[in-house]
Amino acid sequence: MVILRFALKRSFRSPIPILVNIVLPIALLAFSGLWGDDDSRGYYFVALIILFVSFPLTGAITDDRRQRTIVRIMTTPTTTLNYLSQNFIACMVPLLMQIVLIGVFGMRWHDWHIEFAFSLCLIYTFFAATSIAFAFAWGCVFKNREVSFTVLAMVMTFASFAGILLPLEFLPTILYYIFMIFPTFWVASGIEELIHNGATFWYIICLLVLVGFVVFFLMDGSKRGAY
C-alpha cells in the first residue's frame, strides 16, 4: 500500500489535470442545449473528457521508467501487476470525484432520475477504468513521455470518432464493425442504450465488455513489464 499512498499524493500534486477533470464536465452540464433531448451530445462529450484526461493522470509511470525509479521499486517484493494496480487505484480517485459530481449536478440541473444518474455514472466509471488501464499498458511500451503522448493522442483522436464525436448510426457499416475494437464504441453504445431504453441487457453487455478491456490492458501491461 506504500505505492498507493505515494501515487495518490503524486496524482494530486499537479492541480491542472484535476481542475480540468472537474471544471470541464460541470461547465458542460451548465449548457442545457447539450442535455435537452435523447440526441444531445453532452453525455458523450463527458466520456471524451474522461478519455483524454486519463493519460496525464498516468504519466507518472512513464516518469518512473525514465528516471529509473521503477528499478528500485522492483527490487522489493512488488510485482508489476501490483505496481500497476495500486497506481490504477490512485488515478481512478480524481476521475471518480468527477463522475460523482456529474451525477449530482445532473440530477440537480437536468432532473435526472436517480436510477438514470447511477447507471450513467456506472458506465462512466467503467470507461474511466478502461481509459486508465489502456494508458498504463501504453506507458509500458514507450519510455519517452513526449513520444508516448503524441502517438497516443492520435490513437485516442481516431478512437473518439467511434460514437463519441460521431453518432454510431452515422458510421458506415465497415467502420461500425472496425470501431468495435475500441472501448469508445462500447461506452457510446452503452450510453445510447441507456438514454433511449434504460439499463437493458445490451447496456449490461457494454459494461462487461469494458471490464474485459480493463483486465486485458492491465494483464498486457504487467506482462510487458514496467521497465
CA distance 91 to 60: 10
Burial class (CB in 10 A: 0-12, 13-18, 19+), 104: middle
Give the cell for residue 97: 470525484
**Secondary structure letter of residue 152 according to DSSP:** H
Radius of gyration of the chain (CA): 18
Predicted local distance difference test score (pLDDT) of residue 135: 82
Predicted local distance difference test score (pLDDT) of residue 2: 62
Burial class (CB in 10 A: 0-12, 13-18, 19+), 40: middle
19 in Cβ contact with 27 (< 8 Å): no
CA distance 4 to 68: 18
CA distance 134 to 220: 9
Predicted TM-score of the model (pTM): 0.86
CA distance 2 to 146: 28
Nearest to 111 by CA among 49, 209, 36: 36
CB neighbours of 15 closer than 8 A, spacing ≥ 6?
none
51 in Cβ contact with 156 (< 8 Å): yes
CA distance 193 to 203: 6
CA distance 108 to 144: 43
CA distance 87 to 166: 32
Residue found by looking up cell 528500485 in the block: 72
Predicted local distance difference test score (pLDDT) of residue 200: 94
Give the cell for residue 145: 513521455
Per the model's pLDDT, the better-predicted residue between 89 and 1 turns out to be 89
One-letter amino acid identity for 204?
Answer: I
pLDDT per residue as tens digits for the range 170-184: 778 888 888 889 899
pLDDT per residue as tens digits for the range 30-73: 887 778 766 678 898 898 888 888 877 776 666 666 666 666 66
How many residues would you count in the chain?
Answer: 227
Asked whether the predicted pLDDT for residue 195 surpasses 70, the reply is: yes
Give residue 221's pLDDT band: very low, low, confident or very high (50, 70, 90). Answer: low
**Secondary structure letter of residue 35 according to DSSP:** S
